[in-house]
Amino acid sequence: MSRSATATLVALGVDATGESAMAPARVLPVRGELADVLPWGGLRRGSTVSVRGSTSLLLALMAEATVEGCWAAVAGLPRCGALAAAELGVAVHRLALVPRPGRDRSEVERTVAALLDGFDLVSVATPVTPATARKLSARARQRKAVLLPFGSSWPGADVELRASFGPWSGLAEGHGLLATRTATVHAGGRGAAAREKTTTLPLPGRASPELPRPVLRPVAG
């Protein structure tokens, strides 16, 4: 495990052997719109739910569980910050950010495995091999954590969530702040998730926290 990742775990009182209190619920809560498209009505412990198209969707997926006392970690998204997470309802005092989980694939695997030992929800955005993906999903099942791969397809994921975006809202009479966008979320997968479902939900800010929000002002003339 990288030094930065180890330091994050130590700061949160979680060691690399996975000594951490886990919430007893078998299904972790999510906001209502997302509960409608997940086959378990929430995030089932031990499952792998991949997220594509929006970091805002990823953070929104974590929000309710962290408010209810669960711990979450995001690995491999260096531009994902606490402010963006707070805007989406995440209890940021229960969120660990590990921007660079390792220098090579083996170190990334060890870091994410350690996070799965100690956190309820773990997102990984760093590309891994199919073999590593299967190992990490198996680790999540064993540790009763929820693995949330982000950004690319994940072999054997139980559910895949994809987001596409509609128009902005927030302007008034030609000026103001583009505050929200409506996301259409498509959910598919295997087993109980084989039939695709869709839902819509407003997400604050933008599809990616890497870009500043555009502000439009009236043009004098």
HEC-encoded secondary structure of the chain? CCHHHHHHHHHCCCCCCCCCCCCCCCEECCCHHHHCCCCCCCEECCCEEEEECCHHHHHHHHHHHHHCCCCEEEECCCCCCHHHHHHCCCCHHHEEEECCCCCCHHHHHHHHHHHHHHCCEEEECCCCCHHHHHHHHHHHHHHCCEEEEECCCCCCCCEEEEEEEEEEEEEECCEEEEEEEEEEEEEEECHHHCCCEEEEEEEECCCCCCCCCCEECCCCC
Q: Is the pLDDT of residue 81 over 70?
A: yes
Pick from 182, 190, 183: which is nearest to 47 by CA?
A: 190
Residues 6+ apart with CB under 8 A from 212: none
Give the pLDDT of residue 210.
36
Percent of the chain's residues with pLDDT above 70: 76
Give the pLDDT of residue 16.
41
Q: Is the pLDDT of residue 218 over 80?
A: no
d(CA 219, CA 79): 32
d(CA 193, CA 187): 7
Mean predicted lDDT score pLDDT of the chain: 82
Q: Is the pLDDT of residue 20 over 50?
A: no
Of the pLDDT bands very low, low, confident and very high (cuts 50, 70, 90), residue 180 is: confident
Q: Are 52 and 162 in contact (CB under 8 A)?
A: yes
Residue with tokens 């969707």: 57
What pLDDT, in 10s, does the model give residues 46-64?
A: 999 999 989 999 999 999 9
d(CA 101, CA 49): 20
List, in order of start, the domains of the chain with CATH numbers. Answer: 3-161 (3.40.50.300)
Of the pLDDT bands very low, low, confident and very high (cuts 50, 70, 90), residue 168 is: low
d(CA 123, CA 134): 15
Of 18-22, 134-138, 163-167, the range with the lowest mean pLDDT is 18-22
d(CA 65, CA 43): 9
Of 8-12, 166-170, 201-205, 210-214, the range with the lowest mean pLDDT is 210-214
Q: Is the pLDDT of residue 142 over 80?
A: yes
Burial bucket for residue 6 (CB in 10 Å: 0-12, 13-18, 19+): middle
Pick from 11, 37, 16, 202: which is nearest to 117 by CA?
A: 16
Give the pLDDT of residue 152.
85
